[in-house]
Amino acid sequence: MFKFTLNQNDVAVDADKNLLEYLREDAHLISVKDGCAEGVCGSCSVLVDGKAWRTCKLTIAKVQGKAVTTLEGLSTREKMIYSWAFGEVGAVQCGFCMPGVVISAKSLLDQNLSPTSAEIKNALRYNLCRCTGYLKIERAIQLASQALRDGEIFSAEAARPKWERAWFAWTLKISCWGQVNLSMI
């Protein structure tokens, strides 16, 4: 008999088996995705005692006595902030990688609410995303960290550094000018 906590509830499992298989097929926690089953993509990640682990490489026996948290186990406030932040900057396309990405983000932000770009990249080193590109994901994690820190949700535009806002405003003017000039030819 193996005992551990799963999303803050005590569970006991008779026989050892692969943790990803248990979470999806027995516990019906389908946020945990089976992307590669080989420890490469990170889409099966969960928190084990606060750290992100790939469940396709774990067994029930290895989490004996530990606290396992899947995306379903996040608080309502955390779910709201992460879904807002990733949506706000367009960091989600197919969404298959997102549960694993958010687990890696939570593992980082639970320890450090003002992460540097290098720290975010390091936290995401085991997560593959084939759709969005990592810049938007990094931006979403910065936005989530700001919302968790300040306790409020705001527009992504307002969170951009001043120089970035000025640069976008300037390039927008140039592109408008270009369009006017072209339409006059």
For position 95 contacting ligand FES by CB under 6 A, the verdict is: yes
For position 83 contacting ligand FES by CB under 6 A, the verdict is: no
| Cα–chain center distance at 12 | 28
For position 94 contacting ligand FES by CB under 6 A, the verdict is: yes
For position 39 contacting ligand FES by CB under 6 A, the verdict is: yes
CB 87, min distance to ligand FES, A: 12
Q: With 0-12 CB in 10 A as exposed, 13-18 as middle and 19+ as buried, what is 14? A: exposed
What span, in angstroms and rounded, lies between the C-alpha atoms of 184 and 113?
A: 51
Q: For residues 164-181, b (16+ Cβ closer than 10 Å) or e, as one string? A: eeeeeeeeeeeeeeeeee
Site map (CB under 6 A) of ligand FES, residues 114-153, x = contact: ---------------xxxx---------------------
Whether residue 124 contacts residue 176, with contact meaning beta carbons closer than 8 Å, is answered with no
For position 71 contacting ligand FES by CB under 6 A, the verdict is: no
| Cα–chain center distance at 49 | 17
For position 51 contacting ligand FES by CB under 6 A, the verdict is: no
For position 97 contacting ligand FES by CB under 6 A, the verdict is: yes
Q: Would you give the DSSP letter of residue 59? A: B
Whether residue 42 contacts residue 54, with contact meaning beta carbons closer than 8 Å, is answered with yes
From candidates 23, 29, 42, 142, binder to ligand FES by CB under 6 A: 42
From candidates 3, 40, 112, 157, binder to ligand FES by CB under 6 A: 40
From candidates 13, 23, 29, 44, binder to ligand FES by CB under 6 A: 44
Q: Across the chain, where does the E strand assignment appear? A: 2-6, 9-13, 45-48, 51-54, 67-69
Segment interacting with ligand FES (CB under 6 A) among 7-15, 42-50, 70-78, 148-156: 42-50
- Positions touching ligand FES (CB under 6 A) are 34-37, 39-44, 54, 56, 92-97, 129-132
